[in-house]
């Protein structure tokens, strides 16, 4: 059964974003080097900082979800108690 609509579009969009975003960042860093030379170091530091912040948020959310699952499993599977 073919997928259509948003789900079908997401099957295409996710891989495109996963490939095109890093390529765009690398292209931007190259152009920043051509335009301003040493300022590319600041741009790379900023991109690294944003990446670290995103990873921190993902790690926190996953840790909280795991703690919630553990709490639910230890309480016998009933929510809200």
- 11 in a domain, yes or no? yes
- Per the structure, the count of domains in the chain is 1
Question: DSSP of 7-68, one letter per residue?
Answer: HHHHHHHHHHHHHHHHHHHHHHHHHHHHHHGGGHHHHHHHHHHHHHHHHHHHHHHHHHHHHH
Residues across the chain: 81
- 79 in a domain, yes or no? no
Q: What is the mean pLDDT of each run of 10 residues along the chain (81 residues)?
A: 66 86 93 91 94 96 95 75 49
- 80 in a domain, yes or no? no
- 39 in a domain, yes or no? yes
pTM of the model: 0.64
- The rounded distance, in Å, linking the Cα atoms of 81 and 12 is 42
SS3 at position 79? coil
- 81 in a domain, yes or no? no
- 16 in a domain, yes or no? yes
Tokens of 51: 């990446």
Domain of 63? 5-74
């Amino acid at each position: 059964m073919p997928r259509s609509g948003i789900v079908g579009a997401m099957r295409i969009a996710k891989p495109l974003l996963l490939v095109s975003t890093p390529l765009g960042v690398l292209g931007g860093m190259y152009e920043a080097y051509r335009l301003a030379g040493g300022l590319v170091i600041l741009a790379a530091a900023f991109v690294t900082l944003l990446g670290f912040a995103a990873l921190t948020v993902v790690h926190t959310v996953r840790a909280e979800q795991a703690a919630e699952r553990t709490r639910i499993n230890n309480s016998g599977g009933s929510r809200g108690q």
